[in-house]
């Protein structure tokens, strides 16, 4: 047997073991990331490539490819936009009651005039790829995360046009998306004033009105990157008062929990996202007189919760199950946003869209004229 065939056979065996012991394997390797390099049958190839890359000149100083320098705002005087985009984490579209889920996981959003897009797909199944991909002009089929950090994205184009851009992060990082805009890390109690077992997503809203009031001119885009439903410790992702569905899985080892306990913990975290998004909408409503306001929420990827023996996420796109790529996407439009036909938007809620549409939707929200804007890809306005 050739070495290539041997590696293929070992890879197949690893996949079989994963499907057989999915819960235990997934949660173990999520909590002990370094071990991944020891069980991967291709780790020798990886190590060789890593060694070669280290011997070559570092690309840290590689120039950034400029994008959309011609961008300008087409709106008239006194015509200001305030858009908040929430980047969700590990949320599944089919666990939102807005999309027909039997449990009331969106009791607050159901009272708001939101539009939930039921057929939205992620670019990938991991945060490291999906987050930069959704802000990139490159479509999923051509996206390269290693090159993306050296190429401007939607935030840069908006900055060229004069939009004030702020990224607040309660997750791992912006994955280089916010390298050239104002970035604030909300993962510590020194910054985030709402922390208990961990710092909460809603803490990113504290002081946000002061930031808005501090910009008397121009348009504003705020990105809030959630901790959301990051697994496997779903039970840590929400305060105790949001533990509506019980009993819950209270360990990182999913194999020690029943399907019901895992589902309950996961759904409670969705319930907390519902609260967080509702609070964000209420903040925007308070600014309706001064701005055209809107909320855009979309998760980075989904999650496997035991279907076909799979747990967590990160499977290659070609074999990833629907649960890891079918993500929730929600839009709320303020009362003064005259350029957007809300009823026409509601009529498109069941159309097929992907992260590829986000780049152009953000530019469309801000009424950007640029050679890089494709109105045909803007699912908000087209």
For residue 138, the model assigns a pLDDT of 98
**How far is residue 59's CA from residue 61's CA, in Å, rounded to a whole number?**
5
Task: Identify the bridge partners of residue 167 per DSSP, sorted by sequence position.
Answer: 183, 223
For residue 251, the model assigns a pLDDT of 96
Q: What is the pLDDT tens value at each position of the chain, 382 positions in all?
A: 443 343 344 344 445 444 444 444 444 444 434 333 333 344 444 444 444 444 444 566 789 999 999 999 986 666 799 999 999 999 999 999 999 999 999 999 999 999 999 999 999 999 999 999 999 999 999 999 999 999 999 999 999 999 999 999 999 999 999 999 999 999 999 999 999 999 999 999 999 999 999 999 999 999 999 999 999 999 999 999 999 999 999 999 999 999 999 999 999 999 999 999 999 999 999 999 999 999 999 999 999 999 999 999 999 999 999 999 999 999 999 999 988 999 999 999 999 999 999 999 999 999 999 999 999 999 998 8
pLDDT tens per residue across span 287-306:
999 999 999 999 999 999 99
Q: Domain extents for the chain? A: 3-55, 72-377
**How far is residue 10's CA from residue 82's CA, in Å, rounded to a whole number?**
52
For residue 382, the model assigns a pLDDT of 85
pTM across the whole model: 0.87
CA distances from 153 to 10, 159, 181, 356 (A): 39, 10, 11, 12
CATH topology of domain 72-377: Alkaline Phosphatase, subunit A (3.40.720)
């Amino acid at each position: 047997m050739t070495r290539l065939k041997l590696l293929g056979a070992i890879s197949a065996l690893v996949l079989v073991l994963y499907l057989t012991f999915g819960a235990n394997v997934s949660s173990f390797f999520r909590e002990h990331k370094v071990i991944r390099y020891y069980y991967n049958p291709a780790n020798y190839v990886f190590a060789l490539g890593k060694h070669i890359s280290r011997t070559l000149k570092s690309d840290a100083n590689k120039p950034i490819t400029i994008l959309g320098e011609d961008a300008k705002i087409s709106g008239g005087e006194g015509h200001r936009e305030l858009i908040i985009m929430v980047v969700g984490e590990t949320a599944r579209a089919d666990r939102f009651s807005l999309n027909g889920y039997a449990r009331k996981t969106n009791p607050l959003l159901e009272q708001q005039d939101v539009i939930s897009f039921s057929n939205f797909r992620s670019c990938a199944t991991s945060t490291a790829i999906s987050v930069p991909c959704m802000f990139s002009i490159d479509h999923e089929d051509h996206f390269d995360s290693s090159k993306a950090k050296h190429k401007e994205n939607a935030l840069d184009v908006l900055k060229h046009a004069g939009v004030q851009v702020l990224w607040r992060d309660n997750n791992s990082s912006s994955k280089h998306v916010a390298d050239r805009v104002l970035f604030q890390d909300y993962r510590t109690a020194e910054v985030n004033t709402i922390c208990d077992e961990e710092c909460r997503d809603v803490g990113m809203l504290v002081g946000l009105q002061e930031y808005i009031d501090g910009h008397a001119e121009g348009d504003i885009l705020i990105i809030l990157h959630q901790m959301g439903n990051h697994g496997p410790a779903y039970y840590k992702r929400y305060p105790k008062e949001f533990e509506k569905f019980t009993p819950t899985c209270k360990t990182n080892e999913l194999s020690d929990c029943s399907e019901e306990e895992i589902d309950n913990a996961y759904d409670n975290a969705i319930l907390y996202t519902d609260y967080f998004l509702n609070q964000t909408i209420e903040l925007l409503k308070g600014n309706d007189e001064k701005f055209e306001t809107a909320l855009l929420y979309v998760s980075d990827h989904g999650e496997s919760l035991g279907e076909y023996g799979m747990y967590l996420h990160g499977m290659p796109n070609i074999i990833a199950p629907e649960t890891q790529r079918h993500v929730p996407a929600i839009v709320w439009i303020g009362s003064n946003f005259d350029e957007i036909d809300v009823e026409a938007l509601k009529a498109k809620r069941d159309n097929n869209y992907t992260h590829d549409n986000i780049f152009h939707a953000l530019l469309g929200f801000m009424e950007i004229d640029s050679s890089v804007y494709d109105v045909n890809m803007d699912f908000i306005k087209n």
